[in-house]
Amino acid sequence: MAETTTQLKYFKEKHIAYIKDLGEKTDELEYWLSEHLRMNGLYWGLTALALMGSVDTLDRADVIAYVKSCQHTSSGGFGASPSHDAHLLSTLSALQILVILDAVDTVDEAGILRYVRGLQDSTSGAIYGDSYGESDTRFVYIAFQILSILGELNSNHPQFSVEKSVDFIMACANLDGGFGMVPGAESHAAQIFTALGALTISNQMHRVDKDLLSWWLCERQLPCGGLNGRPEKLPDVCYSWWVVSSLAMLGRVHWIDGAKLTEFILEAQDEEAGGIADRKGDQTDVFHTLFGTAGLSLLGYEGLEEINPVYCLPNSVMHRVRQPPATN
């Protein structure tokens, strides 16, 4: 594990209590305003709990029932909340929750496959987020991960070309070795994570300029120890995930100072109420609580379960992914 120079520790019990309470905050306006992220939020919370070895904090049957209530029978995709439209973002979160709970077979798998395959642009290989959405490297990653989990990432399926979507990812490559949201767009650490994830799942990592990209990635670390997402931007705990997972996929986590990053993440905890914020002194949320915890896990922090840098799932459930990457 990375050695820290401070007395700070990870407040596991506080974070478990914090996540447990999130679902009960119906007397706060924020709860209602964030319904469009409910499924993602549930995935973030559950994964963080899994890393803390505390999946049982949430009632398994309740969670599965909720996830099931969000699947649309016609399209096969999942919405973020029961009355919300289907979208790839919530569909992946739903599936990841089911993998963690070992309950994938409780939903309509064929429906999910139909939904995902229907969102590929047959010319460019781009993937749309939903029937109205824009294409984005994020959605290729999501589609690949879903197909990989369900064991359906066939290279020559008549309705889905893995090759074309890989070409789409490569069309998003830039001068710095990184990847943007769409062809032409600037490199961004979160988009790089999704591009590398998609390339890892499809066994295409040899197409990446590893040294050039790793140089750009390790330059995200600032003197305070935290990481930013693009040159000259502020550090933020969530990049502990996007950047470090990318470096992990490139085999170069040691290109940054893990001890200083650990310190930066630990400082962003709310010692009293639990949860982790984007940086020290800010309000916490479940998003940064997961990505801070996942970052610590990648850095080998003691007492946390290992996380898989490609799937953002605990390594302990990875055997449930039916078609993992060849090298994994």
Partner 1 sequence: MIRHGVKRVRTTAEQLALKKKREAIKITEYRGLVDRVNASRAQGCYNLAALDLTTQLLTWNPEYYTIWNYRREIFTEGLFPTLPDLSSSDLATKLDSVQAVLDADLHFIEARLKQSPKCYWIWNHRKWCLGRSPQPNWAREMKLVGMILEYDERNYHGWEYRRYVVRQHEAALIKALDSQSELDAMVKIDQIKSNLLRTEFAYTTKKINKNFSNFSAWHNRAKLMPQLLSNQTSIALSRKKQDEQVTVDPRFSLVHDPLAFLRAEIEFIRQAIFTDPDDQSAWLYHRWLITSPRAICSGPAANLPGALPLLPLGSTLMTHDEEIDMVKCEIESIGELYDYEPDSKWCIYGLIFFNVYLVKTLEGQRAVDFTAEFQEDIRSKLHKLIELDPLRAGQYRDWESSIFSN
Binding site residues, partner 1, CB under 8 A? 27-30, 32-37, 40-41, 44, 79, 83-85, 87, 130, 132-134, 174-176, 180-182, 184-188, 214-216, 218-219, 221, 223, 225, 230-233, 236, 252, 254-257, 260, 270, 272, 277-278, 281-288
Q: Which is nearer to Zn ion, 1 or 234 (CB)?
A: 234
Question: What is the CB-side half-sphere exposure of residue 175 using CA atoms within 13 A?
Answer: 2
DSSP state of 134: P
As measured in angstroms, the least distance from the Cβ of 255 to partner 1 is 4
Considering only CA atoms, which of 277, 293, 236 is closest in space to residue 228? 236
Which of Zn ion, partner 1, none does 167 bind, CB closer than 5 to 8 A by kind?
Answer: none
Pick between residue 127 and residue 162 the one whose CB is nearest to partner 1.
Answer: 127
Question: Distance between CA 226 and CA 327 in Å, rounded?
Answer: 30
The CB-of-249 to partner 1 minimum distance in angstroms stands at: 16
Query: Distances from the Cα of 154 to the Cαs of 53, 77, 169, 204, 222, in angstroms?
Result: 34, 20, 18, 14, 41
The position carrying tokens 């409780």 is: 106
Task: Residue 254: name its binding partner from Zn ion, partner 1, none (Cβ under 5 to 8 Å by kind).
Answer: partner 1
Q: Which is nearer to Zn ion, 127 or 181 (CB)?
A: 181
Is the Cβ of residue 104 or residue 277 nearer to partner 1 in the bound state? Answer: 277
Binding mask 130-169 toward Zn ion (x if CB under 5 A, else -) reads ----------------------------------------
Residue 158: name its binding partner from Zn ion, partner 1, none (Cβ under 5 to 8 Å by kind): none
Number of residues that bind Zn ion (CB under 5 A): 3
3-class SS string, 83-131: CCCECHHHHHHHHHHHHHCCCHHHCCHHHHHHHHHCCECCCCCCEECCC
CB of 293 to partner 1, least distance (A): 15
Cα–Cα distance for residue pair 240/247, rounded to 1 Å:
10
Q: Does 285 bind Zn ion (CB under 5 A)?
A: no
d(CA 117, CA 75): 11
Residue 92 or residue 238: which is nearer to Zn ion going by CB?
238
C-alpha to C-alpha distance for 152 and 159, rounded to whole angstroms: 12
C-alpha span between 180 and 200 (Å, rounded): 17
* Identity of the residue, 167 or 282, whose beta carbon is nearer to partner 1 in the bound complex: 282
Interface with Zn ion in residues 208-267 (CB under 5 A): 236, 238
Pick one of partner 1, Zn ion, none as the site partner of residue 219 (Cβ within 5 to 8 A by kind): partner 1
Q: Name the residue among 74, 14, 71 with its Cα closest to residue 39.
A: 71
| Shortest distance, position 138 Cβ to partner 1, whole Å | 10
Handedness of CA 179, 181, 184, 188 (dihedral sign): negative
Paired tokens of 204: 């295409």
Q: Is 185 or 205 the residue whose CB approaches partner 1 more closely?
A: 185
Least gap, CB of 242 to Zn ion (angstroms): 9
In terms of CB distance, is 7 or 83 closer to partner 1?
83
Of the residues 263, 267, 278, 285, which one makes contact with Zn ion according to CB under 5 A:
278
Among Zn ion, partner 1, none, the one that 114 touches (CB under a kind-dependent 5 to 8 A) is none
- Evaluate whether 299 touches 2 at the Cβ level (below 8 Å): yes
CA atoms within 13 A on the CB side of 310: 25
Site residues (vs Zn ion, CB under 5 A) = 236, 238, 278
